[in-house]
């Protein structure tokens, strides 16, 4: 496995490759990322993983400074998983000019975007740059970041990028908690409490699957339950999978998404549910 820091070296290493499979990450890798690398190996070679903590997608007061940088351990895990190239640029390599273009995606102010202004613009901008640097045939993103995946599929489609976007199921701990680099911020007591988020999403999905259509009531009940256990809820919201907008009477494929803070840690998760 090669560790590459510069775009020039990356371009040379990937010259002539037509089946590159790409897994963009911010590092501090866990089993969920490794599952993405394994999926990448099944669809193309070489497998490239990027590691870049993107300042553009963090807001003021968010965890950019304390986001764990664990390059050496990440490289060991990636090598063991069969990754061929790790691309780990620094901020000057990624943003060499003081004034940067920003991609402004639709839906960037909805759901997480309503609470993290600029976040999805930062994500879309860095991913477009990474796509242009790596020029992959396929890129793989996890469904835990559902809105991110939705926006990046739109990015590839609307900018006519010749890249197939694959989605990967969320990897979970035995108690259901979605794996996330941010889980490392949780205290032991918070870690015990954290699976409540997916439990409530599953309960809400069961109510919807059973035919309930009063989404406001379902969302409010989950919010009350989370607040009663010390969470600060950003949103708990049923949406149409195709639009990520509130469901209409014609919506059949729904997704319920949630974001809430447990102590100083913001957790997100979601569950898909189909209705007749």
Rounded to a whole number of angstroms, the minimum distance from the CB of residue 80 to ligand PAF is 20
Residue nearer to ligand PAF on the CB measure, 26 or 78: 26
Rounded to a whole number of angstroms, the minimum distance from the CB of residue 193 to ligand PAF is 24
Q: 15 CB contacts (<8 Å, ≥6 apart)?
A: none
Residue nearer to ligand PAF on the CB measure, 20 or 54: 54
Binding residues for ligand PAF (CB under 6 A): 24-26, 54, 57, 123, 126-127, 145, 148
Residue nearer to ligand PAF on the CB measure, 56 or 226: 56
Residue nearer to ligand PAF on the CB measure, 84 or 145: 145
Residue 119 falls in the annotated catalytic set? no
**Cα 156 from Cα 261, distance rounded (Å):** 31
Q: Is 198 exposed, middle or buried (0-12, 13-18, 19+ CB in 10 A)?
A: buried
CB atoms within 10 A of CB 34: 20
Q: 163 CB contacts (<8 Å, ≥6 apart)?
A: 131, 136, 137, 138, 139, 156
Rounded to a whole number of angstroms, the minimum distance from the CB of residue 52 to ligand PAF is 6
CB atoms within 10 A of CB 164: 14
* Catalytic residue (one of 5, 30, 33, 252): 33
Tokens of 49: 């993983």
Rounded to a whole number of angstroms, the minimum distance from the CB of residue 262 to ligand PAF is 20
Rounded to a whole number of angstroms, the minimum distance from the CB of residue 123 to ligand PAF is 5
Residue nearer to ligand PAF on the CB measure, 24 or 105: 24
Contact 215, 240 (CB under 8 A): no
The residues annotated as belonging to the active site are 33
């Amino acid at each position: 496995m090669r560790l590459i820091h510069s775009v020039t070296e990356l371009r040379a290493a990937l010259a002539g490759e037509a089946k590159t499979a790409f897994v963009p990450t911010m590092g501090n890798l866990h089993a969920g990322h490794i599952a993405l690398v394994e999926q990448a190996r099944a669809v193309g070679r070489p497998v490239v993983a990027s590691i870049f903590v993107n300042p553009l997608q963090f807001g003021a007061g968010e965890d950019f400074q304390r986001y764990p940088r664990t390059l050496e351990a990440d490289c060991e895990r990636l090598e063991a998983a069969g990754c061929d190239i790790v691309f780990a640029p620094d901020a000057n390599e990624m943003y060499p000019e003081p004034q940067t273009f920003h991609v402004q995606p639709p839906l960037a102010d909805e759901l997480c975007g309503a609470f993290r202004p600029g976040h999805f613009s930062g994500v879309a901008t860095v991913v477009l740059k990474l796509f242009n640097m790596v020029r992959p045939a396929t890129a793989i993103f996890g469904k835990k970041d559902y809105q991110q995946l939705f926006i990046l599929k739109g990015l590839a489609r609307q900018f006519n990028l010749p890249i197939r976007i694959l989605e990967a199921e969320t990897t979970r701990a035995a108690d259901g908690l979605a794996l996330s680099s941010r889980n490392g911020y949780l205290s032991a007591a918070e870690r015990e409490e954290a699976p409540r988020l997916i439990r409530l999403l599953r309960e809400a999905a069961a109510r919807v699957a059973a035919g309930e259509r009063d989404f406001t009531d379902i969302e409010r009940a989950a919010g009350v339950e989370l607040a009663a256990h010390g969470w600060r809820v950003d949103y708990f919201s049923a949406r149409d999978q195709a639009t990520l907008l509130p469901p209409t009477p014609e919506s059949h494929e729904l997704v319920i998404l949630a974001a809430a803070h447990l102590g100083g840690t913001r957790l997100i998760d979601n569950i898909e549910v189909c209705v007749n």
